[in-house]
Structure 1
Amino acid sequence: MTAEKTLVDTLVVGAGQAGIAMSEHLSRNGVPHLVLERARIAERWRSARWDSLVANGPAWHDRFPGLEFEGFDSDGFPGKDRVAAYLEAYARKYAVPARTGVDVRTLRRNEGRRGFLVTTSDGLFEADRVVVATGAFQRPEIPPIAPKDDGLTQIHSADYRNPSQLPEGAVLVVGAGSSGVQIAEELNESGRKVFLSVGPHDRPPRAYRNRDYCWWLGVFGEWDAATPTPGREHVTIAVSGARGGHTIDFRRLALEGITLVGRTKSFRDGRATFHPDLAENIARGDENYHAVLDRADAYVARNGVNLPPDPEARRIYPEPACVAHPILELDLPKAGIASIIWATGYVADYGWIQVDAFDVNGKPRHQRGVSSEPGLYFLGLPYQSRRGSSFIWGVWHDAKFVADQIVIQRQYLAYRDASQRKADA
């Protein structure tokens, strides 16, 4: 007996910012569709973030074109719950046909005909087209060097909520991108002793000359960069919207009580070792920081923009002892370290997609989200079309392009030649 299937023209998997944007543009083009979400709309903003998280971009910038953050300072940084509520409101405004609580388990191509068969916790779906709007980072990654010591509490930043969930004692935070730095700052402010493992990074100014960094990237044209700068594809960015937004300066963090160490190398017999690259990593971050300031000054002079000077931005804090005399090995029990937080990012998980649409590294083969597999599309990938693709406004523009391609393909499939039209008459 053949299982009953729900037939859908276009199926969108995921109801985060990518899926919501995709639905809006499909609706604008009259494309029948359904959005499946395994939890709630904007679930990752709700349950995969720490309590005090705020957006890393100001409200005027990190939003969809069709809706502002109501009753919120446009120059402020909305908290995670405010962002989730915003995405929910946007979904209501554009009547996103979302079916929540549905876990998509497998996707495979139909044999001998177009379309895909999608297996879910709510039965089978058959769709002519599928848009994978789950983003690129679904699974938290903890590196294999993590110690196998049951005496340590170890969690990924995705599972961190607040300092009170950790046992008493010092904390080692591994990873000094935006998440690692903000968590380390919060733990330090709560009275915890914190060790922060710092790798290569960019650390742009939060704001300079009365303009947010997001604004500077816009006037520089950087948001439209099609690919990362060669050699810097995996460099993390340390920037924060916390406490109203502030520039991350690792020397200042050290002066405030956080002990900096280099990249984490290994764990063995209760001891952690670190690479001797702390000073180098901080120096390279400084280079990036000052390059942005220099570029902004040049832009102001060249274009005659009336923005006030900001000499305080070039202040250099004194070099802390932990940088001048870096710690290369740490006795964890002696240092009182009871917890490790791995702020080490995420990896893609496309194991449920059983079609030939990925390269040897498991990354989608696509052109601006249009997959090499006909009828399959991706949305929410880093640099899908530009640097801004990972942001709320960026994914909106990518969704528009993908929707346009879907409309084009539907028009081709709807074509009927003269003999077919005559037969239909």
Structure 2
Amino acid sequence: MPVEKVNTLVVGAGQAGLAMSEHLSNCGVPHLVLERQRIAERWRSERWDSLVANGPAWHDRFPGMEFPDAGPDAFVSKEKVADYFVAYAEMIAAPIRCGVAVNKVHRLVGRPGFHVETSDGVIEASNVVAATGAFQHPIIPAIVPGDAGLMQIHSTAYRNPGQLPEGAVLVVGSGSSGVQIADELQRAGRRVYLSVGPHDRPPRAYRGRDFCWWLGVLGKWDAQAPAPGTEHVTIAVSGARGGETIDFRRLAAQGMMLVGRTQLYKEGAMTFAPDLGRNIARGDANYMSVLDEADAYVARNGLDLPEEPDARRIGPDPQCVTDPILELNLAEAGIASIIWATGFTVDYRWLEVDVFDEKGKPRHQRGVSVEPGIYFLGLPWQSRRGSSFIWGVWHDAKHLADHISTQRKYLAYHAYAMRGTKVA
């Protein structure tokens, strides 16, 4: 069977792969996008049923297309987000092959390029772009054994309250996924325990403008490096029910039981860290800091935006915060299931090239790896704070496409010069 050859192979047809394809086409670079399932598959099959985008439609999109049938301030459902990317792929005529998995990539011997083994045959590519993003494999900490008599799933496997067995639920993780799932379960009549770790909890909106807008005008989306110790800060924000600020005190007042970080399971009991009060206070401090910066921006620029004094009112700590639970017998509490909203890890085992550090993270500069011809796209903080968001990955893809196009021109000149030398 003849080996297929392509200049640039893009692995993954999510938001990163589509953005990469658009910019490669604009640069005239021949390329192919391989997707093991469907376009934007994770939006359809690895998210819960009621999920909506965490940013408004005017912000969480590519520049070349608006969301159809959605106002600019709407928070679009996950299915409509996936449909958007399918339509975008059609609009830009992206050369995508679905249902093809990439199994192995290694450098060719004695000549430039890469040997790519796929489920549909072998491809040789001058460049390979790993556009699989940062949210590849769900992490479930090895805390509770599988034979503990509890249903345990990651947030990617949660769909709706009816999926869980009768009884109370422990949700571990206070980021956007954990909080929204816990809130949905409570609204469905479940007794919910929410394990709250360190987090930021920005206002959903303030003085008539969404949080995404404030991050933009305050220059925070373009921050090029995280502050020390903040590379993986959990952020609690929600687009549910038209968008709302996450308020752990409100959730507790509605009956949710808050606990600290989940630490240890032994003989049917879960132990929690005595850090709940500190974690709540940290979230409050982050919330107030955004309001302070927003107020200063309004004053400095003379903007006519209404004041919002009620936004600064924080109620008293509920009893579960002032007298926190440090150990909980799960059976006595009626807990029958645990949802782990504990994040993801990357998996680049298919990429057999020397581009990773001792922790398995890509060594790169704005997505251009230390191995010529290997690129990464969709990584957190790839070039700025906004890199792993829809609009941010689009801008990072342009940088990579420009780099690939420039290298292609150098190689084209080399081929031309060699022909001239042989003629002489």
With the length of structure 1 as denominator, give the TM-score of the two structures.
0.98
Would you identify which runs of 4 or more consecutive aligned residues in structure 1 move more than 2 Å?
146-150, 416-425
For 1:216 and 1:424, how far apart are their aligned partners in 2? 62
Return the offset for 1:148.
3.2
For 1:284 and 1:263, how far apart are their aligned partners in 2? 14
- Aligned match for 1:321, one of 304, 319, 332: 319
For 1:304 and 1:231, how far apart are their aligned partners in 2? 35
Question: SS at 1:11's partner residue?
Answer: strand
Aligned counterpart, 1:392 = 390
Q: Deviations over 1:273-324 (max 9, x none)?
A: 0000000000011000001001100110111011000112112123211011
Gap change, CA 1:419 and 1:385, over 3 Å in 2:
closer
Aligned pairs (5 A) from 1:169-318: 169-318=167-316
For 1:216 and 1:392, how far apart are their aligned partners in 2? 17
Aligned counterpart, 1:421 = 420
Gap change, CA 1:211 and 1:414, over 3 Å in 2:
same
Aligned pairs (5 A) from 1:5-154: 5-154=3-152
Q: Deviations over 1:73-102 (max 9, x none)?
A: 110110100100001111110001000000
Tell me the amino acid that sits aligned with residue 263 of structure 2: K
Q: Deviations over 1:155-186 (max 9, x none)?
A: 00000000000000000000000000000000
Tell me the amino acid that sits aligned with residue 355 of structure 1: V
Return the offset for 1:70.
1.2
Gap change, CA 1:114 and 1:215, over 3 Å in 2:
same
Gap change, CA 1:418 and 1:333, over 3 Å in 2:
closer
Question: SS at 2:332's partner residue?
Answer: helix
For 2:194 and 2:175, how far apart are their aligned partners in 1? 11
For 1:9 and 1:363, how far apart are their aligned partners in 2? 25
- Aligned match for 1:4, one of 2, 5, 14: 2
Structure 1: 5+ residue stretches without partners: none
Aligned counterpart, 1:340 = 338
| Contact persistence 2:238–2:245 (CA under 8 A) | yes
Tell me the amino acid that sits aligned with residue 420 of structure 1: R
Return the offset for 1:421.
2.4
| Contact persistence 1:201–1:235 (CA under 8 A) | yes
Aligned counterpart, 2:162 = 164
Return the offset for 1:337.
0.1
How many pairs were matched up? 423
For 2:247 and 2:417, how far apart are their aligned partners in 1? 69
The sequence identity of aligned pairs, in percent, is 70
Structure 2: 5+ residue stretches without partners: none
For 2:116 and 2:134, how far apart are their aligned partners in 1? 20
Q: Mean alpha-carbon deviation: is it higher for 311-320 or for 55-64?
A: 311-320
Q: Mean alpha-carbon deviation: is it higher for 338-347 or for 137-146?
A: 137-146
Root mean square deviation of aligned Cα: 1.1
Aligned counterpart, 1:365 = 363
| Contact persistence 2:7–2:126 (CA under 8 A) | yes
Tell me the amino acid that sits aligned with residue 120 of structure 1: T
| Contact persistence 1:137–1:349 (CA under 8 A) | no
With the length of structure 2 as denominator, give the TM-score of the two structures.
0.98
Gap change, CA 1:105 and 1:327, over 3 Å in 2:
same
